Amino acid sequence: MGLKWIDSQELAIELAEHFPEIDPATVRFTDLREWILALEDFDDDPEHCNERILEAVQTCWIEEAD
């Protein structure tokens, strides 16, 4: 089963593993969206993304990085 936009925590973990050198607090939403879409396990409609979803993923990633 692939990752969906609602899987904020799982997406954050994947991003932290793929981009360990990145400070998630500095990531622009446009980049964040592209990185999520590029994840191998991501399987959701790219059009179902919005700012609230990206903010949730970024928040989880920041928590994961701490």
| Residue 16, domain CATH | 1.10.10.600
Q: Which domain holds residue 41?
A: 8-65
* Nearest C-alpha neighbor of 57 from the set 21, 37, 40: 37
Structural domain contains residue 48: yes
pLDDT tens for 15-61 read 999 999 999 999 999 999 999 999 999 999 999 999 999 999 999 99
Q: Is the pTM of this model over 0.75?
A: yes
Q: Note the pLDDT of residue 55.
A: 98
Contacts of residue 60, Cβ cutoff 8 Å, sequence gap at least 6: 8, 9, 11, 12
Q: Note the pLDDT of residue 19.
A: 95
When divided into structural domains, the chain yields a total of 1
